[in-house]
Structures are given as C-alpha cells and as structure tokens.
Chains A and B, each alone.
Chain A
Amino acid sequence: MVAARSSPLEAGIVKKELIELKINGRAHELAVEPSALLLDVLRQDLSLTGSKRGCDESSCGACTVLVDGVAMMSCTLLAASCQEQDITTVEGVSEHGSLAAIQKAYGDWGGAQCGFCTPGFMMTVKSLLAENPNPSEAEVRSALSGNLCRCTGYSQMYEAIKSAIEAERQGLAAAK
C-alpha cells in the first residue's frame, strides 16, 4: 500500500503572490510567498547573494540594504512589503563597472578580512556618507554600530572610510 501523502494545503503551504520589486534600478516580477523575507528573495530567487545572513534575530547587519536610500536589514523586511520602493543591494554599489571609492578603500586599508560582513558595511557606510559626507570618527563609530564584524576590530575600517572620503573629494575636485 502506498501511503497517502498529505497535500500541499495540509502541509500548510500558502499560495504565492505576484509582486514587483525594484532592485538596483531594475524591476523584477516575482512570485513569492507572503511570508518570504526580502533577504531570501534576493539570495534565492534573484541570485543576488551579496547580502548575507549572519544571524536570525536582526542583530548582525550582514544583510543590510538600502530601501529608498535608508539602511535597513533585509532579513527583517517582508519582500511583499517592499514593493514600490527602491532597493539597493551591494551589487548596486559599484559605479560604472568599477569599484566605488569605498570598495577600493576597504580593500586597500584592510577594512575587509573574511568579507562576510563587508556587504552590510558597504551599505551602511554608503548611507552614512550620503547623509553626512564628512563624519567625525565618533559619528562613524556610531553609524557602524549596528553591523557586527568579528575579524577587524573595526579599526582599519575607519582608515578606509577616511581615505574613501578623501578619494571622493579629489575625484570631485578633478572633475571640476
């Protein structure tokens, strides 16, 4: 006798819904479960694996993305709840096919070691500098304090951020 398998409904599967997400300037139409988290949709449905899952309780910041320019944790947002909003992930940080100043600086100054937390830091730093182009070290420390890193002790990140600000300034001056 073949054991009867339970149906998807009995297994408690809720129907997927069609949603539209705007990510790094591109619109994507996706069928997702209402309970799908933005992080999982990015990583699994869109293969944008740059955003990382480091914890399950919204405390590590490795999944940070920008939602309408504001840094948020994609592990704590429902994908369906982010429709009509502009989402930027780490994949959208590079400029014109080359590294953004902050990406180059993190490499040069040792701001990234294992690199797992780095995408989250990229997003947090990006939103910080957009809001406050010339932050003090105390402001940087406070802004980064929701992203955990186990490798660097954060010190070399401050150097990287300083140097990125300087590179941006010189770039702007050169452009003028």
Chain B
Amino acid sequence: MSLPQFKLLRPRATDEAVSFLAKHAGNVRILAGGTDLIPSMRQKLFEPESVLDLRGITELRGIRPLASGAVEIGALTTLSAIERSAYLRQHFPVLTEGAATVASPVLRNMGTIGGNICLDTRCLWYNQSLTWRKGCGFCIKKDGNLCHVAPGGSKCWAAFSGDTPPALLCLNAEVEIAGPNGARRIALREFYTGDGENYRKLEANELVTRVFLPEASADYRGIYRKLRVRGSIDYPLAGVAVVVKRLNGHVADARLAITAVNPAPLLVQRAGEMLIGKIIDEALADAVGDLAARTAKPLTTSALTPEYRREMIRVFTKRAVLAAARP
C-alpha cells in the first residue's frame, strides 16, 4: 500500500509551522513521529493535499524543568526521551510509566508526546485498508454514515487509545496550542470532546506545541496499568492511571484516569473524592474500581470483548490504587 500523494512542508520553527497551517488549513495533516499518521495514510484514512512535517522544529523537543518545580515538555519530545528522563521518573513517575508502555521500543523512538496526546481514536471498523472498508460499506468516522459498533446510533464510538494522556490528566497537565492568534494554554481535560469522530478541540489551523506539568502535581506516587494481549506493540485495550499523595498514611490528594474504553481519556472525577482523607484498603480500592468500571463504556472497537475490558478497568483500578498506596 503506497501513500497518497501530497506536498511536504518542512518548517524549521513553530511560527513557520503555524503560518503553513494557516495557509493550507483544512487540507493538511500534521506529521510528528508518524507512527499513527503514516499507517493511516497508507490505509487512505487521510488523503491530505499537504503534510506538515514537524521533525525539523528543534525548539519543540526536550524536557525543561522550570525553577518553580513545574515542567515544560516540547510536543516533539519522543516517548523514549520521556521514558528515560530521570527527572520525570523521580517527580512524575506516572508519566514515565505510561510512556514506557506505548507500542514498542522502536516506535517509542519515533512517537512523540504531542502525537500521543493528539492520537486519532481507533476502531476495528476504521483502522483498515481502503479495500477492507469498502467491503464493510465504510463507517460513520470515515466516508460512511453507519456505526458498525453501535448500529442505529449517530455517534462514533472509536476509542481513544493513547497511554500517556491518562497519566497527564492525573497530573493536571496543560497543553499549549499555537494558532494564527498566538499561543493559548488549556487544561488537557478540556482538550477532548468525548466524540469518536471529532475527538479533540483543535482548530484546523492550530497545533499542540507544549505540555506543562504543574508544580503542584510533582512528587505524587503514580501507577499506570495497561491491558494488552502481548507484552509489547499493542495499543491499550484498557488503561488506568492513578496518582496519590499521602500525608500521615491518609490520602491527601488523588486522581484517577482511564483510557482506551471511551472515545476520550477520562478523569474519573469522583475517584479522587472517594480516596481523599481515607486510608487505602482493599474495600476502598474495590469501590474505586467499581466506580471506574461504571465510567468505562467500551464497545467492540478493539480485540477482547467490551464486558471483559470493563471488568479489567475494575481490576486494574483496584490494583493501581493499592499499588499507589504501598509505601
């Protein structure tokens, strides 16, 4: 399968990228690590006139701890770099854990944090070749108007399958978005729509440039648990991230997020409330697990049945919470 033909734009700086975007808005795809976009273009899921290749923008690479204790991560920082950062591992361990589980080592050398945040939602009826999709009569996310997963519905249920966003949600991360009117910063939790088709709030002339981890999120215990069939390569079939800060054995603060079971990664709001002020034990972890499982709405978008994946959200949540409580 060859790629559709396109013009290649290779900006050297963010400004240049933004002006390219403005010029070609609506008919351009942004290429960072390429690990999702290139296979998708082979499958003709995208046939843009132009591709904006960000690989040459060095200013968007790197992890910069700020004096305040907060951290700024360039959107083009590779997942390998995040996985290997001693600083992040010490202060934001949930993120390095999440990054370390993405796909395989070679793909993490290519894939970027910005790309993982912007990762297209996935579905077995969508991530297929053009010939294959022709066979099923296309789907609501691309070229058709039927959802094979929830027939009769008008909403797309393709699952968001990034591993780092649940960790970033737990860390109250913010993303910087550059556009024609300059840069704006929003909380990551505001970034996703919950709809599989238009899954993120990013205008056609905008791109994600940086991620910020606030100082207040540093030094939480963090755990990420991922359901996959193989020990490598696979996208998550369900994923749970949890961060906990404890004071005198009691939970001072906690957040929990899930991924790969909804069209967006979700912060399970009430989980934090349930945990704060408590001593974590089996029963509490169980209760949080039940809550997370109720938040999950998996459908047959991936391998393993929805029922099982929801069940694993429960089990993994319980385990992650207990692990985060361990001294």
Cα distance A75–B42 when bound, in Å? Answer: 11
Total A-B residue contacts, Cβ distance less than 8 Å: 95
A76 within 8 A of B: yes
Is B6 in contact with chain A by the CB < 8 A criterion?
A: yes
How far is it, in angstroms, between the C-alpha of A56 and the C-alpha of B109 when the chains are bound? 18
Q: Measured between alpha carbons, how far is A57 from B53 in the docked complex, in Å?
A: 19
Asked if residues A56 and B35 are in contact (CB atoms below 8 Å), the reply is: no
Select which of A40, A56, A80, A124 is within 8 A of B106 by beta carbon: A124
Instruction: Please tell me if the beta carbons of B10 and A80 are within 8 angstroms of each other in the complex.
Output: yes
Which listed residue, B31, B34, B39, B105, touches A146 by the CB 8 Å rule? B105
Instruction: Kindly state the interface size class of chain B when it binds its partner.
Output: 20 to 34
Residue pair A70, B109 in contact (C-beta under 8 Å): yes
**Taking each of B56, B80, B105, B110, which has the highest tally of chain A beta carbons within 10 Å of its own beta carbon?**
B105
Q: Does B8 contact A (CB under 8 A)?
A: yes
Q: Is the CB of A76 within 8 A of B38?
A: yes
Q: Which residues of B contact A81 (CB under 8 A)?
A: 8, 10, 31, 53, 55-56
Known: A35-B8, A146-B232. A56 touches B105 (CB 8 A): no
Q: Does A33 belong to the interface (CB within 8 Å)?
A: yes
| Chain B residues with CB below 8 A from A143, complex form | 105
Among B2, B4, B8, B103, the residue within 8 A (CB) of A80 is: B8
Cβ of B33 to closest chain A Cβ, rounded Å: 8
Contact A14 B5 (CB under 8 A): yes
With A and B bound together, what is the CA distance between A24 and B34 in angstroms? 23
- Chain B, 205-238, CB within 8 A of any chain A CB: 231-233
Q: Which of A46-68 contact B (CB under 8 A)?
A: 56-59, 61, 64
Q: Is the CB of B35 within 8 A of A58?
A: yes
- A12 contacts B by Cβ under 8 Å: yes
Q: Mark A73-87, 1 if CB is under 8 A from B, else 0.
A: 101111011000000
Are B34 and A71 neighbours in the complex by a CB distance under 8 Å? no
Name the A residues within 8 Å of B104 (CB-CB): 59, 61, 145-147
Beta-carbon contact of B6 and A14 below 8 Å: yes
The reply to whether B110 and A146 form a contact with Cβ atoms under 8 Å apart is: no
A56→B42 contact, CB < 8 A: yes
Q: Are B5 and A146 in contact (CB under 8 A)?
A: no
Give, as a whole number of angstroms, the nearest-CB distance from B260 to chain A: 17
Hey, which chain B residues are within 8 Å of A70, CB to CB? 80, 109
CB distance A57 to B7 under 8 Å? no
Please state if A146 and B106 are interface contacts (CB–CB under 8 Å): yes
- Whether the Cβ atoms of A146 and B103 lie closer than 8 Å is yes
Contact of A129 with B by CB under 8 A:
no
A34 pairs with B109, CB closer than 8 A: no
In whole angstroms, how far apart are the Cα atoms of A64 and B7 in the complex?
A: 25
Verify if B25 is at the interface (C-beta below 8 Å from A). Answer: no
Whether B31 lies near A73 (C-beta < 8 A) is no
Contact of A57 among B8, B39, B232 (CB under 8 A): B39
Residue A98 CB within 8 A of the other chain = no
- Asked if A14 and B7 make an inter-chain contact with CB atoms under 8 angstroms apart, the answer reads yes
Answer whether residue A167 sits at the interface, using C-beta atoms and an 8 A cutoff.
Answer: no
Query: Per-residue 0/1 for B166-200: is the Cβ within 8 Å of any A Cβ (1 yes, 0 no)?
Result: 00000000000000000000000000000000000
Residue of A with least CB distance to B38: A76
Tell me whether A58 and B7 are in contact in the complex, defined as CB-CB below 8 angstroms, given that A78-B53, A145-B231 are known contacts. no
Question: In the bound complex, do residue A35 and residue B3 qualify as a contact, i.e. CB atoms below 8 Å apart?
Answer: yes
9 contacts between A and B (CB under 8 A): A14-B6, A34-B7, A40-B2, A57-B42, A58-B38, A70-B109, A73-B107, A78-B8, A145-B105
15 new A-B contacts at CB < 8 Å, known A13-B5, A17-B8, A145-B231: A34-B5, A56-B43, A58-B107, A71-B105, A71-B106, A73-B107, A73-B110, A76-B38, A76-B39, A78-B38, A81-B55, A145-B105, A146-B104, A146-B106, A146-B232
Leading 3 A-B pairs by shortest Cβ distance: A146-B104, A145-B232, A34-B8
